[in-house]
Amino acid sequence: MSLPDPRQLERDCLTAWEHAFEPNPSAREKFYLTVAYPYPSGAMHVGHGRTYIVPDVIARFWRMRGREVLYPMAFHVTGAPVIGISKRIARGDEKAIRLYRDLYKVPQKTLEQFVDPLAIVRHFSEEYQRVMRACGLSIDWRRRFTTVDPQYSKFIEWQWKHLREGGHVTKGAHPVRYCPQCENPVGDHDLLEGDRAEIQKFVLIMFRWKDAFIPAATLRPETIYGVTNLWVNPRASYVRAIVDGAPWIVSREAAEKLSLQDHTVSIEGEIPGSALVNEKVSHRLCGEVPVLPASFVDPGMATGMVMSVPGHAPFDYIALRDLQSQGHYSHIQPVSLIRVPGYGDFPAKDAIERAGVKDQTDPRMEAITQEVYSAEFSQGKLREEFGGMTVREARESVGALLVARDGSKYMYEFDTRPVICRCGGQVFVKILHDQWFLTYSDPSWKAEVSAQIEKMVLVPPEVRAEFERTVGWLKDWACTRRVGLGTRLPWDPGWLIEPLSDSTIYMAYYTVAHHLKEFLPEELTPDVFDYIFCGQPCPDHPRKDMLAQMRKEFCYWYPYDYRFSAKDLISNHLTFQLFHHVAIFPPSCLPRGMVVFGMGLLNGAKMSSSKGNVFLLEDAVMEFGADTVRMFLVGSAEPWQDFDWRNELVQSTRKQIERFYNTIQESRTAPSEVAPIDRWLISRLQQHIQKTTQALEVFQTRQALQEAFYAIDADLKWHRRRIVPGTPGGGGVRELAHVWTRLMAPVIPFICERLWKEIGGEGLVSFADWPVPDQGKIDLNLELAEEMLLRLTEDLESIRKVIQITPRSLTICIAPAWKREIFAAVAGAADKTRVVKDIMGEERFRKKGKDAADAVRQCITHVHRLPPGLVEGYLAGNCDEREIFFSAIGFLEKEAGVPVTITDADAISHPRAKGALPLKPALILE
RNA sequence: GCGAGUGUGACUGAGAGGCCAAAAGUGACCGACUCAAGAUCGGUUCUCGCAGGAGUUCGCAGGUUCGAAUCCUGCCACUCGCACCA
């Protein structure tokens, strides 16, 4: 028997389910789960499939447990990517076209429409919905929306009004990576090189030179007091430029950079670096110092001029020493400025001498600089004459002082270079103005989020640390963009709200999304949302009843119970949405839990559309069937683990479903007699029900499947083996079939829907009652008895494997009573090291002599190797070996293939009989 | 580099101090059925053993313990995140 035609089966189910999963508030308890909605810019692959199928299994499970389950879906179309895609397609970019035409299988006609970015998201959101349906996802599609729907925009405007009123939005300047050629900020993925470069904030210290300023760039403004000279690269080219009205001397590169960072710059003339050597410059805080030449000065770094603090900066120290060793500048002495434990007056000197550095070209200089820098920053203190502050404090305050009193400016620069844009041009730091920020750095906002995280269920628990760390680490988030799709900032419509910032509380929107569609956007004023989501007084509105209805529905569903998402979103989306929730909703509506997913691999390699290493979900469903895809995806790894899609494993999953189908089908014609082995099957089943339930309650889909499928399957195998032809029994599978179909329904709903009908189940299995273990059907003694028989057959097998004779008979020798006493003594002994002495101390055992001593020793290892339950059951007198073996003698003879005799070990004189132990009879094959 | 996590037999992956040579699944091999193949069913799958046993394994190296895949320390490898990007 093979599976019914999958196309027909899937069609039937999809018809039956069409409107089945459209929950409304009811008297039942609710269960609301949401998944991060997709950005439909490409086709779904099996990795996406798991992201939505795992929650569906959970949804179906809770639905069967009687909850009103809400599993909604929408599409996130905000942002710039589709704009880039459509541009690339419009301009005939071969790579983009190949991706869409060949990999995503977009028909040529549709592809032509992709010059409109909205056409892309329209096409793929249709495709997503179609494929999600085909996968059997129990989604309430009435609530579907996209993030550019006008009603949704109204909702976002309302959200942002609140954020702003709550003081969570500020405006400011913001340094970004910027490509002057593209005239655009560049993100990580736009970089050819330098993606690890970070933006550092330098302080420019304005030294006076003749009528001009020489701005020396430093990350350590507090060391101004220890400056002995400046460094200039004599081979670099410098310019005199009017910066914000004052003449500055900086490297040529620096002049260009400054113009991107809020300065007006006009270059007046060139000055070779060498012309600055030996010039005198001065500053209020360090007096007059000379400019000296140094090759390590990089004209491409900041201003191309640096100040020299030889006492504390290894580069400065060694450069000075190099000059002095040639007999120059011997009057310059380092200034001791900072005390650090483990170093003398001049940490830079100590570090260099310890390392035995020869000159400034030594490759270890970077590391030594880092060492001194960290030591001074973390443990250093300024000397008393400079105020005695810690370096950490001084850096802040001296920097601020220099800016306030001495005309210092800030300048941004990358810590590593070069940074190259995809267009090939060099990337600079530019200061963007009028940028809006979400103030995630706000300590009181952070505190609220941390408090919320503490109350939440996080799955798996290991991610808690990462959430906590993310909250601590988040800085202000630039939340507006100039280009892309999305909602305009209500009070500053030149800006669009950026995608990670307009997708934080839409879980609330779902609760009433289907009703909101009935409203004109302009009807959805902020006070309407205030009423629905925050319980503010109901505004005067022509459709007050409807508003009241929505308020009721929101209150029923919210807060959501679980949010599901892949682990890469912890450090942004998942944490952001908590920030927004605590900012907007009352405590009763704050999220309860999150489940974080692992990533997907395809044949061991990372799945990646750009590398073409993807398997499309729709192809998978067509090839293997939706049930198979589902069962594989939830069964191959737990949700938070990475999973690996391998066709051969998927193929075998399909066979397992077939076996399941056949077993259930065959159960319909099973005999109706019920033998002890049937009671055993049903007894075991109760535990599988319990374990499956427990696993699903904590999202362990793989574990659940191990119990619900493989463990039951293994029991059935034993059950089949135990049935001796010609004897009554076998009816257990009938009862099992009813339970099994329901246990499997969340995972493979299509086939279970069909089977449920065929075995006479009421209604849809999707809404059938989840099985509940019946304690009355559990018979532990029966289970112990079967365990003993199983052990006996295993022993028998291993003996047969090593002997070479063909046996004619099997004798089973049961251990005598005195061995049972020893066994009990060993099992009950608290101190395992003394048990031999204790037992042999007893007269009745001692007179058995060596036999007893051997038995004790054997029992010690034996007891340890037995499952505790079996030992306990045996000691409680719940299994009589003789009775068990006698009643199964037909089975034992079938297994052994020879006549079986059961006897007491001390009733026969065969030497092997002596080896009999409790729960391990001696077997004699001869 | 920083932060979080993971390393188990051919592979996927359970196990979290004595039930452990280590579940389950896959693959491979051997049988049964079949003219045959496939499917299905049964068995084997670290090494040695003509009696149910013994030996060596759980990233590497040490340590704690009567006893370690499991606990501790160090190292190595891999995965994810490190922001204006979904």
Which pLDDT tens digit goes with each residue over A213-249? Answer: 999 999 889 899 989 999 999 999 999 999 999 999 9
pLDDT digits (tens, 9 = 90+) for A764-780: 999 999 999 999 999 88
Report which residue is nearest nucleotide B14 when distances run from CA to C1': A703
Domain with A581, as residue range(s), is 6-165+456-602
Report the pLDDT value the prediction gives residue A749, as an integer from 0 to 100.
95
A235 and A314 in a single domain? The answer is yes
Considering only residues 588-617 of chain A, list those whose CB is below 7 Å from strand B: 599, 604, 606
- Tell me which H or E stretch contains A474: none
Report the pLDDT value the prediction gives residue A588, as an integer from 0 to 100.
94
**A735 occurs within a structural domain:** yes
Contacts of A880 (CB under 8 A, 6+ apart): none
pLDDT digits (tens, 9 = 90+) for A832-849: 556 666 777 777 777 777
- Number of domain units in chain A: 4
- Tell me which H or E stretch contains A492: none
Report the pLDDT value the prediction gives residue A652, as an integer from 0 to 100.
87
A697 and A817 in a single domain? The answer is no
Q: Does the structure show a pLDDT above 70 at A1?
A: no
Instruction: For residue A575, say whether its CB is under 7 Å from any atom of strand B.
Output: no
A735 and A798 in a single domain? The answer is no
ipTM of this complex prediction, to 2 decimal places = 0.92
A232 and A348 in a single domain? The answer is yes
Point out the nucleotide closest to A570 (alpha carbon to C1′): B81
Instruction: For residue A475, say whether its CB is under 7 Å from any atom of strand B.
Output: yes
Contacts of A212 (CB under 8 A, 6+ apart): A240, A246, A247, A248, A249
Instruction: For residue A883, say whether its CB is under 7 Å from any atom of strand B.
Output: no
**A427 occurs within a structural domain:** no
A203 and A326 in a single domain? The answer is yes
A473 and A409 in a single domain? The answer is no
* CATH code, domain with A702: 1.10.730.10
Instruction: For residue A719, say whether its CB is under 7 Å from any atom of strand B.
Output: no
* Residue with the larger pLDDT of the pair A84 and A769: A769
Q: Is-cis flag, bond preceding A293, omega within 30? A: no
Nearest to A684 by CA among A722, A732, A731, A724: A732
pLDDT digits (tens, 9 = 90+) for A456-498: 999 888 888 889 989 988 988 989 888 889 999 999 998 999 9
- Boundary of a domain, candidates A731, A752, A778: A778
Give the lowest-confidence range in A745-759, A865-879, A896-910: A865-879
pLDDT (average), residues A366-371: 78
Distances in whole angstroms, Cα of residue A500 to Cα of each of A51, A77, A660, A908: 19, 11, 44, 81
Our measurement of CA A838 to C1' B16, in angstroms, reads 33
Instruction: For residue A652, say whether its CB is under 7 Å from any atom of strand B.
Output: yes
Our measurement of CA A707 to C1' B65, in angstroms, reads 35
DSSP conformation letters of A551-601 = HHHHHHHPSPSEEEEEGGGIIIIIHHHHHHHHHHS-GGGS--EEEEE--EE
A215 and A349 in a single domain? The answer is yes
Our measurement of CA A870 to C1' B22, in angstroms, reads 20
pLDDT digits (tens, 9 = 90+) for A143-192: 999 999 999 999 999 999 999 999 999 988 888 888 887 777 777 767 77
* CATH code, domain with A30: 3.40.50.620
Residues A395 and A337: their CA atoms lie apart, in Å, by: 13
Report the pLDDT value the prediction gives residue A831, as an integer from 0 to 100.
58
**A76 occurs within a structural domain:** yes
Strand residues in A629-695 grouped as ranges (E): 643-645
**A358 occurs within a structural domain:** yes
A122 and A14 in a single domain? The answer is yes
A147 and A224 in a single domain? The answer is no
**A611 occurs within a structural domain:** no
Report the pLDDT value the prediction gives residue A278, as an integer from 0 to 100.
93
Q: Does the structure show a pLDDT above 80 at A304?
A: yes
Report the pLDDT value the prediction gives residue A832, as an integer from 0 to 100.
58
pLDDT digits (tens, 9 = 90+) for A576-589: 999 999 999 999 99
- Boundary of a domain, candidates A554, A578, A602: A602
Report the pLDDT value the prediction gives residue A179, as an integer from 0 to 100.
82
Q: Does the structure show a pLDDT above 60 at A44?
A: yes
Our measurement of CA A54 to C1' B63, in angstroms, reads 43
pLDDT digits (tens, 9 = 90+) for A594-641: 999 888 888 777 787 777 788 899 999 998 899 999 999 998 889 998
Our measurement of CA A649 to C1' B28, in angstroms, reads 15
Report the pLDDT value the prediction gives residue A922, as an integer from 0 to 100.
86
A726 and A817 in a single domain? The answer is no
CA angle A476, A477, A480 (to 5 degrees): 135
Mean pLDDT (chain A, rounded): 88
Residues A799 and A589: their CA atoms lie apart, in Å, by: 65
pLDDT digits (tens, 9 = 90+) for A413-456: 887 777 887 777 788 888 888 889 999 999 999 999 999 999 99
Q: Does the structure show a pLDDT above 60 at A251?
A: yes
**A813 occurs within a structural domain:** yes
pLDDT digits (tens, 9 = 90+) for A155-169: 999 999 999 999 999
A500 and A593 in a single domain? The answer is yes
**A190 occurs within a structural domain:** no
Residues A532 and A513: their CA atoms lie apart, in Å, by: 12
A730 and A773 in a single domain? The answer is yes
- Boundary of a domain, candidates A778, A813, A842: A778
**A430 occurs within a structural domain:** no
